[in-house]
């Protein structure tokens, strides 16, 4: 007798034999599944519903029980009951899926259970979580403490966030940078508008002045031996040279003056 008891305990520890009640429940579950596949949905439902209160179910068998019970109720037209069974099934195994060629009623109620589960998850994520204390909001408490007739104070603004939102100020010019010809100092400070404008005025004035000087040198210096048209042309190029030099000099002086004012 003692040897038999020891052998039974050893077999239970090694998993070689299941308890009689668990084996009977497992056999009843397989019989109910066979009834379902035979098309006897009502008998399968009754048999499976009777197994719900049986204790000691393994997880795999519990999932099988909920699956076949929900399928039986779906095939019998009990959509609400089938959806509830499938919701319990998804609560235990959220990755469970039916094959695409499963019965349409089963797929419809299973999808309804999935939709209900998704809606519950969204509602739970949208629910505000209360703080550790039920203190009123800061705005309400401040309004309650403010005496009547006193104007409402301006909202607090973090100076660090204000500095982060505003672009950094441009680097200032210096007199030495303003003295760089052709607007080079302004371009170094990324003042592209001033730099290109002053550079074009200075370079254009100098180049035009040099060109006007060359045109004058190509003509005869004795005004009495030249025709009147050549004299007029020479005077015109002289004026061009003066204006171009004045423009270049004015742009340079403006660069100095504007950089010194910053």
Helix (H, G, I), strand (E, B) or coil at 131: coil
77 is a domain residue: yes
Same domain? 116 vs 208:
no
Q: In this structure, are residues 234 and 219 in contact, taking their beta carbons and an 8 Å threshold? A: yes
Of 95, 123, 151, the residue at which a domain comes to its end is: 123
Of 89, 123, 157, the residue at which a domain comes to its end is: 123
162 is a domain residue: no
Q: What are phi and psi of 102, to 5 degrees?
A: -70, 165
Same domain? 117 vs 181:
no
Give alpha helix (H) positions in the chain: 2-14, 20-37, 41-50, 59-75, 79-92, 104-126, 138-145, 159-165, 175-178, 184-188, 192-217, 228-261
pLDDT of amino acid 152: 55
Question: pLDDT category, 58, cuts 50, 70, 90?
Answer: confident
Q: From the CB of residue 42, how many other CB atoms can be counted at a distance below 10 Å?
A: 11
pLDDT of amino acid 6: 41
Question: pLDDT category, 8, cuts 50, 70, 90?
Answer: very low
- Name the token pair of 241: 């040279």
Higher pLDDT, residue 104 or 161: 104
pLDDT of amino acid 131: 55
pLDDT of amino acid 111: 94
Same domain? 179 vs 92:
no
70 is a domain residue: yes
In whole angstroms, give the CA distance from residue 156 to residue 154.
6
Dihedral sign for Cα atoms in the order 247, 253, 256, 258: negative
For residue 220, give the DSSP letter: -
Burial of 259 (0-12, 13-18, 19+ CB in 10 A): buried
Same domain? 22 vs 114:
yes
10 is a domain residue: no
Residue 45: C-alpha distances to residues 39, 66, 128, 139 (Å):
11, 11, 41, 59
3-state secondary structure 9-67: HHHHHHCCCCCHHHHHHHHHHHHHHHHHHCCCHHHHHHHHHHCCCCCCCCHHHHHHHHH
Question: pLDDT category, 109, cuts 50, 70, 90?
Answer: very high
Instruction: Print the domain residue range for 24.
Output: 18-123
Max CA distance (Å), the chain: 152
Same domain? 23 vs 108:
yes
For residue 224, give the DSSP letter: G
143 is a domain residue: no
Structural domains counted in the chain: 2
pLDDT of amino acid 57: 81
Burial of 252 (0-12, 13-18, 19+ CB in 10 A): buried
Same domain? 26 vs 109:
yes
pLDDT of amino acid 245: 75
131 is a domain residue: no
Question: pLDDT category, 128, cuts 50, 70, 90?
Answer: low
For residue 127, give the DSSP letter: S
In whole angstroms, give the CA distance from residue 257 to residue 248.
14
Same domain? 106 vs 196:
no
For residue 203, give the DSSP letter: H
**CATH code, domain with 28:** 1.25.40
Give tens-digit pLDDT for 137-181.
555 555 555 555 555 555 545 544 544 445 555 566 676 676 777
Dihedral sign for Cα atoms in the order 107, 113, 116, 118: negative
pLDDT of amino acid 249: 79
Of 123, 154, 189, the residue at which a domain comes to its end is: 123
- Name the token pair of 255: 């660069």
Same domain? 115 vs 22:
yes
Considering the entire predicted model, what is its pTM?
0.42
Give tens-digit pLDDT for 196-238.
787 777 788 788 778 777 777 766 555 555 566 666 777 786 7
153 is a domain residue: no
């Amino acid at each position: 007798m003692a040897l038999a008891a020891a052998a039974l305990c050893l077999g239970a520890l090694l998993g070689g034999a299941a308890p009689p009640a668990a084996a009977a429940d497992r056999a009843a579950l397989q019989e109910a599944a066979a009834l379902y596949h035979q098309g006897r949905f009502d008998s399968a439902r009754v048999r499976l519903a009777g197994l719900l209160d049986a204790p000691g179910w393994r997880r795999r068998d519990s999932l099988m029980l909920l699956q076949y019970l929900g399928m039986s109720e779906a095939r019998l037209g009990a959509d609400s009951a089938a959806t509830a069974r499938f919701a319990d099934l998804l609560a235990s195994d959220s990755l469970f899926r039916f094959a695409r060629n499963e019965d349409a009623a089963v797929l419809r109620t299973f999808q309804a259970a999935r939709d209900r589960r998704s809606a519950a998850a969204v509602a739970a994520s949208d629910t505000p979580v209360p703080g550790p204390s039920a203190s009123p909001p800061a705005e309400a408490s401040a309004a309650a403490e403010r005496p009547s007739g006193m104007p409402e104070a301006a909202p607090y603004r973090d100076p660090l966030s204000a500095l982060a939102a505003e672009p950094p100020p441009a680097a200032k010019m210096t007199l030495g940078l303003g003295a760089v010809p052709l607007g080079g100092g302004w371009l170094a400070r990324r003042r592209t508008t001033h730099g290109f404008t002053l550079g074009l005025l200075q370079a254009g004035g100098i180049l035009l002045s040099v060109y006007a000087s060359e045109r004058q040198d190509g003509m005869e210096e004795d005004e009495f031996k030249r025709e009147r048209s050549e004299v007029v042309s020479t005077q015109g190029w002289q004026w061009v040279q003066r204006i171009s030099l004045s423009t270049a000099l004015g742009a340079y002086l403006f660069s100095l003056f504007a950089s010194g004012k910053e």
